[in-house]
């Protein structure tokens, strides 16, 4: 056929203006391709574009398809549309459509999956580097509260109404701390989801804004007001300690140590199953220093507390159980005491006093069902601070910042307003030791700092 003769470089279709077949030499003979070529005396109005390789079967372009393409180009040029610009526009539209489709899939991802992605991402980023319990704590909020209630919903569909229903579920609003943590966790997940393309809206999901607060008002009125932990009156401490001394066993000595150091009870016993009990390795009895690892502190920072000579003497008197690292082991000698042990001991002490007609150890300022509540282990910290700041001119005797340091609190900088915790050294150690020795002496003898020892 003359169609494929090598000496014929191009040939018009004959049925569609500007449509040509162009031939080029090929290893196996001649290659043919479709070309759209519009000639014009004005170079700016000329146009040429390849339409594909000639062929009746894919990937070739048939005559019919080549004419359809040529007709589209002719129509676009007649309308002043550049075909290459149109091709680029269509390509961009297709890419945007694919992107939108992929985004729609992400937007429909259920909260249960996004929440776990957030949890792992935060863990890798070191969010809980200074808090070994942080990961499990937030996982607990997700597993126990958030995912059962909202896990099947896409984050894109969670708003104020869903949060309101969530807080009503199982009366979660009554558990104030848990409800607050769940809301802040939802907010954090929502922010992360927006940044990573799982949510269109950048509004804070769990924020307690004016509308949500107003809707919750009738329910929040049911929440009992929270008070401080009932504390022993400072003037009752010597008698309390005398009764405590008559009790034997690790729990009695643990409560005695808690009082002498004014520490938090979860620093010396188990915290809800987490083994955080006081260990011998954290004590320097020669220096009289207790080294608290960051997991033991509220500020999640390593901290040192000064021990009084009374606390050191107590520790030196305790037996050590082979193979057990804990200062106050349980009855099996394998773990630390449980968190509720010290409160149970105080209840037993109150039972003893009731049986002999003595008043119980209660805090008259805090009532339950019209009756004063029993003092608590944590309330002993308040007993110490009250004694150090108010009792018998102690407020003149002891620096308020020293009192704060002795209970493991950060101190407010009176000039800058920021909180800091200076390293214990030199004069500061001595100030803390003087205060804790005075407190220990008062607990065990009832003598105030201005009273001399008995001859």
For 372-418, the pLDDT digits (tens) are: 899 999 999 999 999 998 877 777 888 888 888 888 766 555 444 44
For 343-354, how does the pLDDT look when each residue is reduced to its tens digit (9 = 90+)?
999 999 999 999
The answer on pLDDT for 5 being more than 50 is no
Domain 234-445 classification at class level: mainly alpha
Q: Number of H helices and number of E strands within the chain?
A: 16, 11
Which residue, among 10, 70, 12, has the nearest Cα to 36 in the 3D structure?
70
Q: pTM, whole model, 2 decimals? A: 0.57
Give the strand pairing for 289-292 and 283-284: antiparallel
Please say whether the beta carbons of 153 and 190 come within 8 A: no
**Greater model confidence, 38 or 29:** 38
Closest by Cα among 219, 194, 198 to 106: 198
Tell me, what's the pLDDT at 418? 43
Q: What is the DSSP string of 121-133?
A: HHHHTTTTTT-TT
Residues 75-103: pLDDT tens digits?
Answer: 888 888 888 888 888 888 888 877 777 76
What pLDDT score was predicted for residue 3?
39
- Whole-angstrom distance, CA of residue 152 vs CA of residue 204: 19
């Amino acid at each position: 056929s003359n169609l494929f003769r090598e000496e014929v470089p191009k040939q018009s279709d004959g049925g569609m203006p500007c449509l040509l077949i162009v031939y080029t030499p090929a290893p196996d003979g001649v290659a043919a391709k479709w070309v759209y070529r519009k000639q014009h005396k004005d170079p700016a109005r000329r146009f040429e574009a390849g339409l594909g390789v000639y062929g009746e079967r894919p990937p070739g372009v048939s005559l019919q398809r080549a004419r359809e393409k040529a007709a589209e180009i002719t129509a676009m040029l007649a309308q002043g549309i550049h075909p290459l610009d149109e091709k680029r526009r269509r390509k961009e539209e297709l890419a945007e459509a694919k992107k939108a489709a992929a985004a729609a899939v992400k937007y429909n991802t259920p909260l249960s999956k996004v929440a776990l992605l957030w949890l792992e991402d935060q863990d890798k980023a070191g969010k809980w580097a200074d808090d070994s319990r942080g990961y499990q704590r937030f996982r607990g909020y997700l597993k126990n509260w958030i995912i059962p209630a909202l896990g099947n919903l896409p984050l894109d569909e969670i708003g104020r109404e869903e949060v309101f229903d969530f807080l009503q579920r199982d009366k979660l609003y009554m558990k104030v701390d848990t409800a607050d943590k769940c809301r802040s966790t939802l907010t954090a997940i929502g922010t992360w989801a927006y940044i990573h393309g799982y949510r269109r809206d950048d509004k804070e999901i769990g924020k307690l804004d004016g509308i949500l607060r107003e809707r919750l008002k009738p329910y929040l009125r049911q929440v009992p007001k929270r008070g401080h932990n009932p504390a022993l009156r400072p003037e009752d401490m010597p008698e309390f300690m005398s009764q405590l001394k008559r009790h034997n066993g690790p729990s009695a000595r643990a409560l005695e140590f808690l009082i002498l150091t004014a520490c938090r009870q979860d620093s010396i016993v188990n915290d809800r199953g987490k083994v955080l009990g006081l260990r011998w390795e954290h004590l320097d009895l020669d220096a009289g220093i207790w080294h608290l690892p960051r997991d033991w502190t509220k500020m999640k920072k390593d901290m040192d507390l000064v021990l009084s000579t009374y606390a050191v003497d107590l520790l030196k008197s305790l037996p050590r159980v082979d193979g057990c690292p804990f200062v106050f082991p349980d009855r099996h000698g394998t773990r630390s005491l449980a968190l509720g042990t010290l409160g149970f001991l105080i209840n037993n002490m109150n039972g003893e006093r009731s049986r002999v007609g003595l008043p119980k150890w209660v805090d008259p300022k805090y009532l339950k069902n019209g009756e004063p509540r029993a003092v608590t282990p944590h309330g002993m910290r308040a007993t110490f601070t009250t004694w150090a700041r108010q009792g018998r001119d102690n407020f003149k005797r002891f620096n308020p910042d020293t009192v704060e340091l002795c209970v493991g609190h950060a101190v407010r900088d009176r000039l800058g307003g920021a909180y800091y915790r200076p390293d214990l050294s030199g004069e500061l150690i001595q100030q803390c030791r003087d205060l804790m020795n005075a407190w220990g002496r008062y607990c065990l003898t009832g003598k105030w700092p201005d009273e001399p020892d008995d001859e």
